[in-house]
Amino acid sequence: MASEPQQQASPGGEPVLSGPGQDSEFLTTNQGAPVSDTDHSLKAGERGPTLLQDHHLREKIMHFDHERIPERVVHARGAGAHGSFISYGNASELCRADFLKPGKQTRVFVRFSTVVGSRGSMDTARDTRGFATKFYTEEGIFDLVGNNIPVFFIQDGIKFPDLVHAAKPHPDTEIPQAQSAHDTFWDFVSLHTPAQAHVMWQMSDRAIPRSLRMMEGFGVHTFRMVNEAGKASLVKFHWKPKLGVHSLAWEESQLAAGADPDFHRRDLAEAIDAGAYPEWELGVQIFPDDGSGVFEGIDLLDPTKFVPEELAPVQPLGKMVLDRNPENYFAQTEQVAFHPGHLVPGIDISDDPLLQARLFSYLDTQLTRLGGPNFAQIPINSPDSPVNDMFRDGFHQHRVPKGIAPYKPNSLDGGCPYMSQVLSGQQPPLDFPQPVASGKKVRSEPASFSDHYSQARLFYISLSAVERAHVQQAYSFELGKCNDTAIRQRQVECLAKIDTQLAAGVAQALGLPAPAAVQLDDPVASPALSQIGKAWPVDGRKVGVVFNSGNHQHVPAIAQALAERGMSPLLVSASGGEVAPDLPIDRTYLTARSIEFDALVLVGPLPPAPDAAVALDAKAGALGAGGVPIDPRVALLVAEAYRHNKAIITLDGLSDGLLQAVGLEDDAPGIALVELSAVAESAEQLLSTHRAWERFPVAE
């Protein structure tokens, strides 16, 4: 008897559709008939024309022709991972959500994304990152659809199409891909000045993360949490990464765009494969729901504003660990459908006008992107809790509903399904009875929304000198790529309302006159905003161990010691092969590029390999400074790591003179000369502060 599709659980716990699927032992047609040959079409003779009757050929090509679905209109490029959220169980005063109760463990799927680029664009573009988490709770799905920047460009969702049209490639040339360094973007943000706060974050190192594992996440909007007693509080969600916030150098992000466009998704997948499971704490900033929507003078309904942690500390509610890579990119990472309106009892929205528009937008776009109204049935989107929605039919209906009365009230199905409170005895859980703010229909905004600059200034002055220098260079680079002088000038005038020195520095780089000084307030800095000056675990950080075939005997012990301390050694030698059984050489001088490594261990001597010729590998044109012979590709590797402030470890008695041979100081910050036995300890210590920022000091 033919079986109908049924929901089962996969090893990871998520529902999968069984029945007709990829489960035959032999190749079949779409209809399950055996296929004996998929290499040749059916033809009228060996050299004759192909026959229309070849159903296998037509079915195979038809399916292939329709493999692509529309990519997301924004956030098209993403990487995902499965994991779980473990509640600390301390939220009862705040929120009645079941998944926050003591001891609760909830399955999650996370999708990280860039915003502007197409699905095939590079990972390391300067851009905001999406950080969307699907919690499969016992009370239904909760989606926290956030970003790695706590403020947004616009204050009202009606401006979203304008923003995205300005940020996407120019309509005439479709250039540039995945970049904000172009005229239409800067035209918009310099005119629509609520964007200035977000743009400041985007010009900071936050927009070029070293790893998806090293990003903070923010719910951005203010949400409402309600406890069992019906008491409401306003909250802002935060994800805090265990590894700390860390970023690429701008040159690294540009190099990676060519050398490894999959830099971030590779890093995420490899870390999970290596058992270095990424971790975040979920926390909330809590504000009284007193009807004002304002905290310490900051409008909580304005999504271009954040609340400094020093004013409202982040209270941790639980921990998320990502421990499983997707089994299939398309089925899971591509087909997942997040929605800020996917809420559970105890979590509600606020009146933030950006959030309100998002509540419409996601369902609407997914209807097209996923080809009909039944995408909640796709396994990655199916809740773990039972569903009885009385929805029927539609494209791609997989359920086989029972009963004859999908309407309410009914008597024919015994009045089923009942309303939830009939069974639970509780009040309806959703829809908190929040009073509405005004009785008048208006197209306007509160006066507090008109402050577009003070928080851009607060963020900027809270950064360290080296981070501020990066911001200045980022503005200079991006505006330097704009062709229209009026746009550059207008943005420099916006900067003058944020910081006089910054505006003057950018103007100087662009060859423009410094704008007239503006009287600026001096807000209290928020040290929590800087990513420098702290120490972090080194789990999964990549350490390149560079050697050649003549000195490989030291390498197994170094690799083992690094791995024992949680780092991921990558072995780099003159040519491929194995150093020992099950210890393969990961990269050669030809295939390695410095962007892949957080630190280098140089196991010298490292003389030029036989293929160190410019005709074979243009990198071999890199020049050393002389002294001991060194392969020019290694010289380039070391020089790049050095100028990107990375740790470089040399070995006493083996690597003598190597750094001088590349023209570098061997006593600079972040450089260590150690015994073999101390390599791993030294790498851990140097990597814990992420980079040796003090190598190239910046004047305060």
Q: Which residues bind ligand HEM (CB under 6 A)?
A: 72-75, 78, 111, 113, 130, 132, 145-147, 152, 157, 160, 220, 303, 336-338, 354, 357-358, 361-362, 365-366, 369
Q: Which is nearer to ligand HEM, 116 or 466 (CB)?
A: 116
Q: CB 213 → ligand HEM: shortest distance, Å?
A: 17
Q: Which is nearer to ligand HEM, 305 or 587 (CB)?
A: 305
Q: CB 153 → ligand HEM: shortest distance, Å?
A: 8
Q: Say whether 147 is catalytic.
A: yes
β-pair type (647-651, 599-602): parallel
* Active-site residue, selected from the candidate residues 75, 246, 470, 552: 75
* Active-site residue, selected from the candidate residues 82, 147, 182, 264: 147
Which residue's CB atom is positioned nearest to ligand HEM?
130
Q: Say whether 342 is catalytic.
A: no
For residues 65 and 68, what is the distance between their CA atoms, to the nearest angstrom?
Answer: 8
Q: Which is nearer to ligand HEM, 110 or 659 (CB)?
A: 110
Q: Which is nearer to ligand HEM, 111 or 168 (CB)?
A: 111
How many alpha carbons fall within 13 Å on the CB side of residue 695?
23
Q: Which of 667, 21, 75 has its CA nearest to residue 358? A: 75
Q: CB 152 → ligand HEM: shortest distance, Å?
A: 4
Q: Which of 183, 204, 194 has its CA nearest to residue 488? A: 183
Identity of the residue numbered 607:
P
Q: CB 440 → ligand HEM: shortest distance, Å?
A: 24
Q: CB 292 → ligand HEM: shortest distance, Å?
A: 22
Q: Which is nearer to ligand HEM, 306 or 547 (CB)?
A: 306
Cα torsion for 140, 142, 143, 146, to the nearest 10°? 180
Q: CB 683 → ligand HEM: shortest distance, Å?
A: 34
Residues 6+ apart with CB under 8 A from 308: 458, 524, 526, 528, 529
Q: How many CB atoms lie within 10 A of CB 299?
A: 20
- Report residue 273 as tokens: 């494969």
CA 544 to chain centroid, in Å, comes to 24
Q: CB 149 → ligand HEM: shortest distance, Å?
A: 8
- The answer to whether 352 and 301 are in contact (CB under 8 A) is yes
Q: Which is nearer to ligand HEM, 316 or 341 (CB)?
A: 341
DSSP string, 660-683: HHTT--TTSTTEEEE-GGGHHHHH
Q: Which is nearer to ligand HEM, 100 or 220 (CB)?
A: 220
Identity of the residue numbered 213:
R
CA-to-CA dists, residue 95 to 90, 120, 238, 433, angstroms: 9, 40, 16, 16
Q: Which of 460, 462, 455 has its CA nearest to residue 528? A: 462
- The answer to whether 227 and 158 are in contact (CB under 8 A) is no
- Among all residues, which ones are annotated catalytic? 75, 147
